[in-house]
Chains A and B, each alone.
Chain A
Amino acid sequence: MDIIGQFPLFYFPEYGSAWMMGMTGTIHILASHTSVGAAMLFAYLSYKAYKENRTDLYPYMKKYGMFLLIFSYVIGSITGPGIWYTATAASPRGISALIHNFVWVWATEWVFFVFEVIGVFVLVYFIDKIDKKTHLKLTFSFAMASVGTLALIIGIISFMMWPGTQEYYTTGSASDAFFGTNTFPHMFLRIGFMIMLSGVIGLIISSAMKKDNLELSRELTKKMGYVSMLGGFLVLFFFMWYMGTLPDNAHAVFNITKADVIQSRIILTVVFSIYFLVAIVKPQFISTPLAGVMVFIILIAGIWPGEKLRESMRKPYVAGQYIYSNQIISRDVPGKGIKSELPIIAEKGLLQVNPFVPKNLKVITEENKHEVGKLLARMACSNCHSLEKTGKYRPLKDRLAGMDKEAIKSILYAIGAGGMPYMPTLKLPENETDAIAQYFASMKY
Chain B
Amino acid sequence: MDASILLALRDPAGVPFYPVVFQALYVLTWALHAAFVFLALGSMGLSLYGTFKQKSDDNWKILTPHLIQTGKISISILIVLGVAPLLFTQVIYDPNWYVTNTLSGMWVFIFIYTLVLGYILYYWYYFANKKNQGGGKLIGIISFLILIFAGTLMHNFAVTSLMPNDWMNMYAPNGIVDNSGWTFNVDTVRLIFMLSLSIPVVGLFLQNYSRFLSTRRDFSEIFIDYCAKLGTKIGVVGLIISAVAFVAWMIQVGYLLHPLSIAIVVGVVILLFMILKNSNSYITTIVLVVVALLISSMRELIRFDIMAKLGYSIYEYPVNLEIPTIVMFLLTFLVLGGVGVAYLLTLAWKVGKNQGVFDGTKDKAVTKLGNYTLSIMVLWMVIYFGWGMTILFMNIL
List the interface of chain A (C-beta within 8 A of B): 1, 3-5, 7-12, 17, 20, 24, 70, 73-75, 77-82, 84-86, 88-90, 92-93, 95-97, 99-108, 110-119, 121-122, 126, 128-131, 133-134, 137-138, 140-141, 144-145, 147-148, 151, 155, 164-165, 167, 172-176, 178-181, 183-184, 329, 333, 336-339, 355-361, 375, 378
Contacts and interface: CB of A to CB of B under 8 A. Distances in A.
Interface stretch (B132-140, B242-250, B300-308, B335-343): B335-343
A111 B14 CA distance: 24
Contacts of A378: 179
Given A104-B328, A134-B366, A337-B320, A7 B13 contact: no
B337 A179 contact: no
Contact of B347 (A90, A92, A130): A130
B91 A99 contact: yes
B111 A85 contact: yes
A271 B37 CA distance: 45
A174 B81 contact: no
B219 interface: no
B103 A131 contact: no
B267 interface: no
A174 B387 CA distance: 12
Nearest to A341: B12
Given A115-B340, A144-B377, A77 B101 contact: no
* Top 7 closest pairs, chain A to chain B, by CB: A134-B360, A10-B105, A89-B105, A82-B112, A104-B325, A92-B98, A11-B179
B388 interface: yes
Given A100-B91, A129-B358, A131-B358, A114 B337 contact: yes
B218 to A, nearest CB: 14
> Main SS of the interface on chain B?
helix
Contact of B87 (A12, A89, A99, A333): A99
B189 interface: no
B311 to A, nearest CB: 13
B154 to A, nearest CB: 10
Given A10-B102, A84-B86, A74 B358 contact: no
B332 interface: yes
A337 B318 contact: yes
A97 B13 CA distance: 7
B326 interface: yes
A145 B377 contact: yes
Contacts of B384: 151
B291 to A, nearest CB: 23
B119 A74 contact: yes
A216 B84 CA distance: 43
Contacts of B82: 81
Interface of B: 4-5, 8-17, 22, 25, 73, 76-77, 79-84, 86-88, 90-91, 94, 97-99, 101-106, 108-109, 111-112, 115-116, 119-120, 123, 167-168, 171-172, 175-177, 179-181, 318, 320, 322, 324-326, 328-329, 332-333, 336-337, 340-341, 343-345, 347-348, 351, 354, 357-361, 366-367, 370-371, 373-374, 377-378, 380-381, 384, 387-388, 391-392, 394-396
Given A104-B16, A167-B395, A145 B340 contact: yes
Contacts of A92: 98, 101-102
B117 to A, nearest CB: 10
A415 to B, nearest CB: 22
Given A84-B86, A103-B91, A338 B13 contact: yes
A17 B205 CA distance: 42
Contacts of B108: 85-86, 88-89
B179 A81 contact: no
Given A122-B348, A141-B374, A361-B175, A106 B358 contact: no
A8 B357 CA distance: 57
B344 A115 contact: yes
B112 A79 contact: yes
A329 B367 CA distance: 53
A260 B21 CA distance: 50
A165 B397 CA distance: 11
A181 B392 contact: yes
Given A78-B116, A115-B344, A358 B172 contact: yes
B328 A79 contact: no
Given A8-B171, A133-B361, A378-B179, A175 B391 contact: yes
B83 A108 contact: no
Given A82-B112, A106-B87, A134 B357 contact: no
Contacts of A356: 167-168, 171-172
- Residue of A1, A97, A122, A358 ringed by the most chain B CB atoms within 10 A: A358
A334 B340 CA distance: 39
Nearest to A96: B11
B333 A111 contact: yes
Contacts of B91: 99-100, 103
A121 B13 contact: no
B361 A131 contact: yes
A89 B101 contact: yes
A173 B321 CA distance: 9
Given A8-B99, A12-B106, A88-B102, 9 more contacts: A88-B90, A99-B11, A100-B91, A103-B87, A104-B16, A115-B336, A137-B370, A155-B388, A175-B391
A70 B147 CA distance: 17
A80 B370 CA distance: 28
Nearest to A80: B83
Contacts of B115: 78, 82
A325 to B, nearest CB: 15
A375 B177 CA distance: 8
Contacts of B336: 111-112, 115
Contacts of A172: 13, 320
Given A100-B14, A138-B370, A173-B322, A73 B76 contact: yes
A128 B79 CA distance: 27
Contacts of B387: 175, 179
Contacts of B119: 74, 78
A5 B10 contact: yes
Of the listed residues A73, A84, A112, A356, the one surrounded by the most CB atoms of chain B closer than 10 A to its CB is A356
Given A73-B76, A110-B83, A111-B337, A96 B90 contact: yes
Given A89-B109, A329-B12, A122 B381 contact: no
B280 to A, nearest CB: 25
A181 B177 CA distance: 43
Contacts of A144: 374, 377-378, 380-381
B164 to A, nearest CB: 11
A108 B112 contact: no
Residue of B8, B14, B77 most packed against chain A (CB within 10 A): B8
A113 to B, nearest CB: 5
Contact of B5 (A3, A133, A138, A147): A3
A340 to B, nearest CB: 10
Contacts of A103: 15-17, 22, 87-88, 91, 325
Nearest to A374: B177
25 contacts: A17-B105, A74-B76, A74-B116, A74-B123, A79-B112, A81-B83, A84-B86, A85-B112, A86-B109, A111-B336, A112-B332, A113-B83, A114-B337, A117-B77, A122-B347, A126-B348, A129-B358, A131-B361, A144-B380, A147-B381, A165-B392, A165-B396, A333-B13, A336-B13, A360-B175
B381 A118 contact: no
Nearest to B377: A144
A171 to B, nearest CB: 9
Contacts of B123: 70, 74
A100 B16 CA distance: 7
